[in-house]
Every structure is written in C-alpha cells, then in structure tokens.
Amino acid sequence: FFYFPETHGISFRIQISVKEVLDTDVVLKLLFHLPVNYPSTVPDISVTSDQLTRAQCVDVREKLLEEAKQHLCEPMVHDLILWVQQHLKDVIKQSATVCNEKTTLSKGTEDCIWMLLLHLDHMRAKAKYVKTVEKWASDLRLTGRLMFMGKIILILLQGDRNSIKEYLVLQKTSKVDVDSSGKKCKEKMMRVLCETELQSQNKRFQTFEVKEYSALEELQKEFETAGLTTLFSEFVPPLLK
C-alpha cells in the first residue's frame, strides 16, 4: 500500500483479496482517509472492486463505516480489514434483499433523499465522459440530469446520501476526460455548487437523463418543473458572468 499526506490528515490505499466469494477470489481496493482527529473520528472509506457492482461496493462501505463506529478512539484500520475479509460473503448475500428494501424505503421516506449540484468547466472527450456519468448514476441508483447550455455544464443528482458521496469520490479520482494533449486525466475543474437534503417542495426525478438546452429559459424551466427555482436562481445565473 502507499500513502500521501494531505492538509486534512492522511489517505492511503490497500488492496486485499477475499477467497471463495461468488465462487471466485474478490479483489477489493480500499481507500482510507484518516482525518486529523482520527481515531476519535471514523475514517472516510471508499470501496471499489472489478468483481462487484457499484451497489455492492456501496453496501460494503456502509457496513465498514458501521463497524468503524464500534472502534472509536482506538486504531481501527487493521480490524476493519480483518472484518471485511471475514464478512464480505454475508454482506454480498444480503445486498440483493437490502437493495429491494432500500428502494421501497426511499419511496416512502423523502427525508433520506439527498441532492447534489455540480458545475463542470469543460468536457474534451464528451461522448466518453457522458457515458461514464450515465453508468455511475445507474450503478449508484441516482436520478437527475446532466445539463448542457452553451458553455455551462451542470450535473444534478438525487439519491441516497452515501451513493452521492460515492459518486463524488468517483468523479474526483477517476480519469474521466483527456487533457489538451489527448492523455487521460482526472476532473480538476469541478465545483460542488450545492449538496443538501431534498425538501418536501422539491420533486424527485424518476430517471437520469442527458439534456441540451438552447436558451437559459429552457434550463430555468427544467429547474422550476422540479420545484428547484431557488436552487436555479442562487447558483446558475452567477455562472454566466
């Protein structure tokens, strides 16, 4: 594994192989971010694996965070790695049923739905970038819009808060675009305009769609239809200046 210091703690990656899950060895890539006040605070954890779906990775992450809370005020990374090696099979087995329960739950309780509005500066490899965003939204069960209006690019997402956080990790750490010389690069010009809980006056998007708008009025209407007039007026007009 390797680590690199940051202004707000330390981050490091660990890759582990878990035997005999889904009749094959599952390789898990775990990214731990230890905040400055660790272990009084649980670390932030990201889970990725080529053998698991994004939804399964989200479930594994949630279980790891729950387990981390049992070890507050003591070094816990080693214990968490041992725990996931021993319990991965059970988490994956429960994943399908939990997924169904979550879908039902989210329909009935709007208070667990979160919303994220992102601004992207540009997309050089637009077709590939759009396809990647669509896949992430689908895998993480997020709905919303990828919106193009002139030079403005916005991503509006709604869904489970942990899935929103997972999306942000993917957006920041994956090579989604190309630089001026055509080499794959990470998204460095993204801004989080707003991350908040969905309010009762806001409407849920049922799908994730990519849309292009020819005028600001069209874009404004999209926000208004979803009960997001305030969000539009607060964050979109300043982007035109």
Q: What pLDDT digit, counting tens, does each position of 141-150 carry? A: 999 999 999 9
- pLDDT exceeds cutoff 80 at 44: yes
Q: How confident is the model at residue 8 (pLDDT cuts 50, 70, 90)?
A: low
Mean pLDDT, range 94-105, rounded to an integer: 48
- pLDDT exceeds cutoff 60 at 2: no
Radius of gyration of the chain (CA): 19
> What pLDDT score was predicted for residue 94?
72
- pLDDT exceeds cutoff 90 at 132: yes
Q: How confident is the model at residue 127 (pLDDT cuts 50, 70, 90)?
A: very high
Give percent of the chain above pLDDT 70.
88
Environment class of 98 (CB within 10 Å of its CB; exposed 0-12, middle 13-18, buried 19+): middle
- pLDDT exceeds cutoff 50 at 109: no
> What pLDDT score was predicted for residue 126?
92
Q: pLDDT tens digits for 165-223? A: 999 988 888 888 888 888 888 888 888 988 888 887 788 899 999 999 999 999 999 99
CB-based contacts of 147: which residues, under 8 Å, 6+ apart? Answer: 153, 154, 155, 156, 211, 212, 213, 219, 222
- pLDDT exceeds cutoff 50 at 111: no
Domains belonging to the chain, first-starting first, are 10-95 (3.10.110.10), 113-239 (3.30.70.100)
Mean pLDDT, range 147-157, rounded to an integer: 95
Mean pLDDT, range 91-95, rounded to an integer: 76
Mean pLDDT, range 11-25, rounded to an integer: 80
DSSP string, 43-73: PEEEEE-SSS-HHHHHHHHHHHHHHHHTTTT
